[in-house]
Amino acid sequence: MKKRVGDLMVAIHYKPNCGRHDRDVKNVPVRECPYYLSIVQEDESIHERYVAVAKSSSSNYLKETRYTYGSLMRLAFSLAKDGYRDEKGAKEPMKVYRESNLLHDGHHRAAVLLALHGPEYLVDVVELDEEVPIHEHRCE
């Protein structure tokens, strides 16, 4: 199916302001995700601060830590030059949880595509038969 990249959501790590917890996860639109913000604001420090929070939050973050600001920029250049209809996009469409706009993977690609093309850009996504995780920080 196709979805507007501006409607897609991602789960991000963050530090709540409750004074009781150092970290949590929340679902935000791609336009609020640190990868997107670091691209459009051309600010590597946004990316680095986020990676530091994410690394401290998640034991299975290893998969994502291979992504540096540099590799995010390379992905951006590659998608700008060759477009989304490249081999990777065709072979591995982004995945969302069942009946949701929350990305299961493709977070970096979504951030780049939103930065390049704006919210109306349509992307192919595959819906997983997996329930969407609810992230609620009850202190706030």
Can you list the alpha helix ranges (DSSP code H) found in 1-140? Answer: 34-40, 44-57, 62-65, 69-82, 87-91, 107-117
Q: Give, as ranges, the residues between 113 and 132 that touch Zn ion (CB under 5 A).
A: none
Beta bridge pairs of residue 14: 24
The answer to the question of residue 139 lying near Zn ion (CB under 5 A) is yes
Among the listed residues 2, 20, 81, 91, the single contact to Zn ion using CB under 5 A: 20
Closest CB to Zn ion belongs to which residue?
A: 139
Beta-carbon contacts of 72 under 8 Å, excluding residues fewer than 6 positions away, are: 35, 38, 39, 47, 108, 111, 112
Which DSSP string corresponds to 38-77? Answer: HHHTT-HHHHHHHHHHHHHH-GGGHHHHT--HHHHHHHHH
The answer to the question of residue 21 lying near Zn ion (CB under 5 A) is yes
Q: In the bound complex, what is the minimum distance in angstroms from residue 54's beta carbon to Zn ion?
A: 18
**Which residue's CB is nearer to Zn ion, number 14 or number 69?**
14
The answer to the question of residue 23 lying near Zn ion (CB under 5 A) is no
The answer to the question of residue 18 lying near Zn ion (CB under 5 A) is yes
Binding segment for Zn ion among 15-23, 32-40, 88-96, 105-113 (CB under 5 A)? 15-23
Residues that bind Zn ion (CB under 5 A): 16, 18, 20-21, 139
